[in-house]
Amino acid sequence: MSNEKPVPARTGTVLTEALISDLKDRILLGEEISFDEAMALIEIEDDALFEKLMTSAREITLFYHSNFAHLCSLINAKSNLCAEDCHFCTQSVHFKTDADRYHLLPPNTILEAAKINESQGINTFCLVTSGGSLNDQEFEQILDTVRLLKKHTQLHIDGSLGFLTPERARRLKEAGLRRFNNNLQSSREFYKKIVTTHTYDTRLETLDFLKQEGMDLCSGGILGMGESREDRMKLAFELKPYKPECLPINILSPRKGTPLEAAPKIDPKEIIKTIAVYRFILPKSNIKLAGGREAGLGGYQALALRAGANGMITGGYLTTSGNSFEQDQALLKEAGLEMAAG
């Protein structure tokens, strides 16, 4: 990176530190930036402007969220073969991988795992299942599980349970589910390159159903699948009308047997820059470092938490391990953040 400035972006916008400050001030006043302005920010290559972008994103984060960060944990409640062909996923029936295979876990098994997480101080627990949709028997069992968790823990219960109908969204909320995850993964244009068994509109439809039923939304994407910077910005603007309470940022962890097993690693600074610009676009969302962050960001995780992110999924993911709760507590401290109580 050079230290020259001002820097003309591809959009024609000439970026200076003063302009970044102006954009930040606009966000603090409750206003918005345009897609072209977001593209100008994501194309920053200059070191000084990169630093200004990060500090500005942190100011926005502290303004809307104070210095509290949200940690949540998840359980891979069903890891069976999935009929979808998402090119990044080891659980697809279309790919030969070494992922564990098992049917939906019993409610009491999930409760035991939830209590362990609660005893560590984690306040949010997410149930995750493979597959496009649960069958009727599985869905009823998930409802029973949610009720059991609400009865025997003080945890916020979230879910990532495939595609929904309005009725299922309503019943999940009535059972006590607080938030539902349905990631868009990338832009509409890029999505068809990584998934062919369902459409982008199918994912948007589930978000629409959740919004109609008043369920909190969790939706984000994966960086490093071969998408462009423009794809990353388009993802954020697709999400913007939905105002997701939580925006998870996953970083591709190339897995043997999947079509993306040879995908090149994305530069950690590119990840951090994307997170910072997302903070400008979606200032009120909790931006969570999620799957792949340990390998994708390495020693830059705390920097990402100082540049727009304000949360993490802790204790591992669906088919990969991750940082321990203690390691993530240390990361929060390094980033100058405190764990949120709610």
pLDDT tens for each residue of 308-321: 999 999 876 555 55
Asked if the structure places residue 1 within a domain, the reply is no
Asked if the structure places residue 2 within a domain, the reply is no
Asked if the structure places residue 75 within a domain, the reply is yes
Q: Which tokens belong to 132?
A: 């496009």
89 is in an annotated binding site: yes
246 is in an annotated binding site: no
Q: SS3 for 209-246, per residue? A: HHHHCCCEEECCEEECCCCCHHHHHHHHHHHHHHCCCE
pLDDT tens for each residue of 156-171: 999 999 999 999 999 9
86 is in an annotated binding site: yes
Work out how many domains the chain is built from and give that number. Answer: 2
Strands 68-78 and 338-339, by their bridges, are parallel
Q: Are residues 43 and 187 located together in one domain of the fold?
A: no
Print the domain residue range for 35.
7-62
The angle formed by the CA atoms of residues 238, 242 and 243, to the nearest 5 degrees, is: 105
Q: Are residues 21 and 160 located together in one domain of the fold?
A: no
Structure-token match 């999935």, residue found? 82
240 is in an annotated binding site: no
* 47: enclosing H helix or E strand: helix 47-65
What sign does the dihedral 251-255-257-262 (CA atoms) show?
positive
| Domain CATH for 312 | 3.20.20.70
Q: Are residues 53 and 151 located together in one domain of the fold?
A: no
Q: Which tokens belong to 173?
A: 């909320």
CA gap 180, 307 in Å, rounded:
26
**Is the pTM for the entire model greater than 0.75?**
yes
Q: Are residues 58 and 84 located together in one domain of the fold?
A: no
pLDDT tens for each residue of 196-251: 999 999 999 999 999 999 999 999 999 999 999 999 999 999 999 999 999 999 99
Q: Are residues 161 and 184 located together in one domain of the fold?
A: yes
